[in-house]
């Protein structure tokens, strides 16, 4: 495991992102096992088709705007200080108003560090078909990007994307 922080890596992208929400889309494509399949074991063809149909029926507005948070994200987190850390997800707190993901990384001094990373409410993940176990992954390494807290003395942040070792990812927001 390694630990790397890339502050300000996406300032340009941030500047282009207006406060908005994403309008609904209907899209589904069969491509191997889904995250759900991997978490819950093999499914029959009909089950997989049903799952894909559920995805296709997910209609509505997606995150990206103010409703991502119970409070203002930028009130607590620094929208101009982006991080990318690689480590192991050791705990997912399935609580409101924000799910917390705890990641253990190896610091520059070789010692383990534990980051507490805030993300969207449980309802948002549920509506997207993302379960707690999907956020936990398989216990292997993962990479998380997001923005750090204003308080730089704490290993805290707000998550924009989780990428698992096999390349699968969950993008929570495109604001940061």
Partner 1 sequence: MNEPIKAASGVMLAALCVASVCAQETPRTPSGRVDLSGVWFGGFQPSLGAVTDGESVCMASCEEIEGSEDVRMQFPPTERPTYKPEYLARVAELNENQVIEDPVLRCENPGLPRIGAPDKIVQTDSELVFLYDDVNGSFWRVIPVDGRGYREDLEPTFLGDALGRWEGGSLVVETVNFVDETWLTDDGAIHSDQLRVVERFSRDGDTLTYQVTVHDPVMLAEPWVKQPATLNPARFEIVESPPCRERSLPLMQDLSSHDNPR
Q: Is the bond into 97 cis (omega within 30 degrees of 0)?
A: yes
- Interaction pattern, residues 136-175, with partner 1; x per rule: CB under 8 A: -------------xxx--x-x----x-----xxxxxxxxx
Question: Is there binding between residue 61 and partner 1 (CB under 8 A)?
Answer: yes
Q: Which stretch binds partner 1 (CB under 8 A): 7-15, 32-40, 81-89, 136-144?
A: 32-40
Beta strand 141-149 with 100-106 is unpaired
Is residue 117 a contact residue for partner 1 (CB under 8 A)? no
Cα distance between residue 137 and residue 147, in whole Å: 21
Rounded distance between C-alpha atoms, residue 31 and residue 153, angstroms:
42
10 binds partner 1 per the rule CB under 8 A: no
Radius of gyration over every alpha carbon of the chain, rounded to an integer in angstroms: 17
Beta carbon nearer to partner 1, 1 or 22: 22
Among 3, 10, 34, 81, binds partner 1 (CB under 8 A): 34
The footprint of partner 1 on this chain (CB under 8 A) covers a number of residues equal to: 76
Distance CA 148, CA 83 (A): 6
């Amino acid at each position: 495991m390694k630990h790397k922080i890339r502050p300000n890596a996406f300032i340009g992208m941030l500047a282009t992102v207006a406060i908005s929400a994403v309008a609904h889309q209907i899209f589904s494509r069969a491509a191997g096992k889904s995250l759900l399949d991997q978490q819950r074991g093999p499914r029959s063809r009909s089950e997989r088709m049903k799952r894909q149909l559920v995805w296709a029926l997910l209609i509505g507005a997606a995150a990206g705007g103010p409703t991502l948070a119970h409070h203002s994200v930028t009130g607590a987190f620094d929208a101009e200080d982006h991080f990318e850390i690689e480590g192991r997800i050791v705990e997912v707190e399935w609580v409101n108003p924000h799910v917390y993901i705890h990641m253990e990384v190896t610091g520059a001094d070789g010692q383990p560090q534990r980051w507490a990373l805030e993300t969207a409410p449980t309802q948002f993940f549920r509506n997207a078909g993302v379960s707690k176990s999907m956020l936990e992954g398989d216990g292997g390494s993962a990479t998380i990007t997001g923005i750090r807290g204003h308080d730089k003395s704490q290993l805290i942040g707000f998550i924009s994307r989780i990428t698992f070792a096999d390349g699968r990812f969950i993008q929570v927001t495109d604001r940061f």
